[in-house]
């Protein structure tokens, strides 16, 4: 990017501890992280906790933990400190009120003592007149009175003195220049009556004093950006570069990704058995493409090529099929020991521990998510439901009964229960009786596991064990 020669790149993520981090925010965080790394800069984590009513207990810690669980880290932040800390807004209260008062002193902001009731009346009247609700600037030109009211104990807020009828332009790396007229922006509150800053004041003050050069954030914040731009102007500060990242659409392509269509927290995807590396890879190619359109890429490759200006300006679908595919690729890259370690939390307690190691090579190819373990191995232990209609596919009841009886007889006398012994017994039977191979093998698979798709049949039968297999063949016989 041209403007960057002399700029130290500093990016940030500024989550509010109001709940778990949304998976889309994690994807945005990755962009901020990668861009800072690409330019040898720093990535800052700042906690925006000025809305105490919406704060959720423990969320500050959970935010930090989940970022680490995704394998990412920050250079400056709450636990690490850094040159421009503190990095938790509630520890920076003094600076916000100082900055708001500075604007008042410079006649760029003003005190307002309007009561809630008055503001509501104004809003009601505007609604009735079908004009957009905005503060009517009542206090803007009566400051000496307002100051007296404050001296005699009135509550007050500080508002920005928004310039009148000015066209203001800012640059968004993804959308180009965006121009707005200052008349469309409210005389926004900067400092609330309880002394807390609004999000708008705090975010601008912090981004400035933390020397943030590039702000990449979700496009839901784009409507706030004019307020921020006016604040940068009021302070006379240089503006960072903005890039507003389009929101993701629900996997069904309908609407903005939301809780109503399934879980959306970054944590929930780890809980479902997606690997962090695979999730990061998925985030990389959501709305951005590697120059050679590579879909599986390392973090280093991403860092090398990523540029926010190449992010699609259109919303993209959060395509779970693609995510499953990528996750499967990453699972297959693991060796069996690594896989076993990662699978631990997903193995049901009832699954016999001595079966885990032998079962893994059989299911490794078929796992898309770690949580698939249960489904892919359910037939190795306990009882199974054998669908009788499938047993009879492409054959008659008599023939299947004979096949089951003969197989049971031959297997029950097998001295060594090994995959090869099972295989040769079954192949001999098939040849001897000239049974259709596909029909017979599929029927056996259904009888042995209850399923049409399983890992290789003879290995599977071997692991299920002789007594269980013989019992299932008997049961199948009663069903046909």
Task: Select the residue interacting with ligand GLU from 138, 221, 346, 441 (CB under 6 A).
Answer: 221
Q: Can residue 15 be called a binding residue for ligand GLU (CB under 6 A)?
A: yes
Which of the ranges 14-22, 67-75, 164-172, 449-457 carries the binding residues for ligand GLU, by CB under 6 A? 14-22
Asked if 266 and 280 count as a contact pair (C-beta separation under 8 A), the reply is no
Identify the residue whose tokens are 């099929």.
Answer: 321
The three-state secondary structure class of 403 is helix
Catalytic residue among 108, 147, 148, 259: 259
What contacts 24+ positions apart, CB below 8 Å, involve 448-452? 448/379, 448/472, 448/473, 449/379, 449/384, 450/379, 450/384, 450/385, 450/386, 450/387, 451/379, 452/390
Closest separation between CB of residue 21 and ligand GLU, Å? 9
Q: Which is nearer to ligand GLU, 221 or 325 (CB)?
A: 221
Q: Which is nearer to ligand GLU, 49 or 368 (CB)?
A: 49
Query: Catalytic annotation on 80?
Result: no
Q: Can residue 48 be called a binding residue for ligand GLU (CB under 6 A)?
A: yes
Q: Can residue 49 be called a binding residue for ligand GLU (CB under 6 A)?
A: no
State both tokens at 411.
């297997």
Looking only at the bridges linking them, the beta strands covering 42-45 and 10-13 are parallel
Closest separation between CB of residue 228 and ligand GLU, Å? 8
Task: Select the residue interacting with ligand GLU from 39, 217, 445, 451 (CB under 6 A).
Answer: 217
Q: Can residue 47 be called a binding residue for ligand GLU (CB under 6 A)?
A: no
C-alpha torsion sign, points 364, 368, 370, 375: negative
Contacts of ligand GLU in 230-249 (CB under 6 A): none
Residues with Cβ within 8 Å of 35's Cβ and at least 6 positions away in sequence, in order, are 9, 11, 41, 214, 216, 306, 307, 308
Please work out the total of residues on this chain that contact ligand GLU, with binding judged by CB under 6 A: 7
**By rule CB under 6 A, what string of x and - marks binding of each residue 187-206 to ligand GLU?**
----------------x---
The three-state secondary structure class of 15 is coil
Q: Which is nearer to ligand GLU, 15 or 273 (CB)?
A: 15
CA atoms of 199 and 191, how far apart (whole Å)? 9
Q: Can residue 16 be called a binding residue for ligand GLU (CB under 6 A)?
A: yes
Rounded to a whole number of angstroms, the CA Rg of the chain reads: 32
Q: Among all residues, which ones are annotated catalytic?
A: 259
Rule CB under 6 A: which residues touch ligand GLU?
Answer: 14-16, 48, 203, 217, 221
């Amino acid at each position: 990017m041209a403007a960057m020669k002399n700029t130290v790149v500093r990016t940030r993520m500024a989550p509010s501890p109001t709940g778990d981090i949304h998976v889309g925010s994690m994807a945005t965080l990755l962009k901020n992280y990668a861009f800072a790394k690409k330019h040898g800069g720093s990535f800052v984590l700042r906690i925006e906790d000025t809305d105490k009513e919406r704060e959720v207990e423990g969320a500050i810690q959970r935010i930090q933990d989940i970022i680490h669980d995704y394998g990412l880290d920050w250079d400056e932040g709450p636990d690490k400190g850094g040159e421009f800390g503190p990095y938790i807004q509630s520890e920076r209260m003094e600076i916000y009120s100082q900055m708001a008062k500075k604007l008042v002193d410079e006649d760029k902001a003003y005190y307002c003592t309007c009561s809630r009731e008055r503001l509501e009346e104004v809003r009601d009247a505007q609604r009735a007149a079908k004009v957009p609700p905005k503060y009517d600037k009542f206090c803007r030109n009566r400051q000496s009175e307002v100051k007296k009211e404050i001296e005699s104990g009135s509550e007050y807020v500080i508002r920005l003195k928004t310039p009148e009828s000015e066209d203001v332009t800012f640059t968004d790396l993804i959308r180009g220049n965006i121009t707005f007229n200052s008349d469309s922006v409210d005389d926004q509150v900067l400092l609330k009556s309880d002394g807390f800053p609004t999000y708008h004041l705090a975010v601008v003050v912090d981004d400035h004093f933390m020397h943030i050069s590039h702000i990449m954030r979700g496009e839901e914040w784009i409507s706030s950006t004019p307020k921020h731009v006016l604040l940068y102007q009021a302070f006379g500060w240089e503006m960072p570069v903005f890039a507003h990242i389009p929101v993701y659409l629900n996997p069904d392509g309908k609407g903005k990704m939301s809780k109503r269509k399934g879980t959306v927290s970054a944590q929930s995807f780890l809980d479902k058995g997606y690997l962090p590396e695979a999730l990061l890879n998925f985030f990389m190619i959501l709305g951005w493409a590697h120059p050679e359109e590579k879909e599986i890429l390392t973090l280093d490759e991403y860092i090398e090529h990523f540029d926010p200006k190449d992010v699609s300006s259109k919303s993209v679908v959060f395509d779970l099929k693609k995510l499953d595919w990528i996750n499967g690729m990453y699972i297959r890259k693991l060796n069996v020991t690594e896989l076993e370690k990662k699978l631990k939390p997903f193995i049901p307690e009832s699954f016999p521990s001595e079966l885990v190691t032998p079962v893994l090579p059989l299911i490794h190819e078929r796992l898309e998510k770690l949580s698939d373990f249960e489904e892919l191995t359910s037939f190795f232990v306990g009882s199974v439901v054998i669908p009788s209609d499938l047993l009879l596919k492409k054959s008659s009841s008599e023939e299947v009964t004979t096949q089951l009886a003969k197989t049971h007889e031959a297997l029950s006398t097998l001295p060594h229960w090994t995959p090869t012994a099972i295989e040769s017994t079954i192949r001999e039977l098939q040849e001897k009786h000239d049974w259709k191979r596909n029909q017979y093998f599929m029927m056996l698979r259904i009888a042995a596991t209850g399923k049409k798709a399983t890992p290789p049949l003879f290995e599977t039968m071997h692991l299920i064990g002789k007594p269980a297999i013989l019992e299932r063949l008997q049961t199948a016989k009663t069903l046909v």
